[in-house]
């Protein structure tokens, strides 16, 4: 079953990772150049924690958007997997820690985690920027 894309207010979302300013600037050029937003972010449905898409959210915010296309997921689901990207971090970093850090305003280093959905990623939604402002 294909996940449903909804529009969420950016101001309600909680990040759990830092962002790269350079990557955000690249995304701004890409999104602005196409006039479209194509890949929804992934958000934990209860806490509103951004699981995937921190850079896209930052780019939309700087482009003056107040909404972001998103897929809401139940983080407790077995279909949501989280992996560490850096070997120097403790392997006991689990889903609870991701939610706890976001809720406490603690931000993990850039690209700490990688979230995968068993259903795969939704791409090419082609949402116009005007509808996100």
Query: One of 17, 27, 58, 75 is an active-site residue; which one?
Result: 17
Q: In the numeric block, which tokens belong to residue 116?
A: 């995968």
Cα-Cα-Cα-Cα dihedral of 11, 42, 36, 55, to 10°?
A: 70
Cross-strand bridge partners of residue 72: 43
Per the annotation, the verdict on 44 as an active-site residue is no
Q: Is the dihedral of CA 109, 41, 81, 44 positive or negative?
A: positive
Q: Is 90 exposed, middle or buried (0-12, 13-18, 19+ CB in 10 A)?
A: exposed
- Residues involved in catalysis: 17
């Amino acid at each position: 079953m294909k996940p449903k894309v909804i529009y969420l207010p950016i101001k309600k979302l909680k990040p759990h990772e830092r962002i790269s300013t350079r990557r955000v600037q690249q995304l701004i050029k890409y999104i602005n150049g196409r006039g479209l937003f194509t890949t929804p972010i992934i958000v934990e449905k209860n806490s509103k924690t951004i699981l995937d898409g921190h850079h896209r959210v930052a780019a939309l915010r700087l482009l003056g958007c107040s909404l972001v296309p998103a897929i809401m997921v139940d983080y407790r689901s077995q279909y949501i997997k989280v992996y560490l990207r850096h070997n120097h971090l403790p392997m006991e970093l689990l889903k609870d820690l991701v939610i706890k850090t976001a809720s406490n305003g603690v931000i993990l280093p850039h690209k700490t985690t990688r979230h995968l959905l068993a259903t795969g990623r939704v791409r090419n939604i082609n949402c116009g920027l005007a509808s996100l402002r």
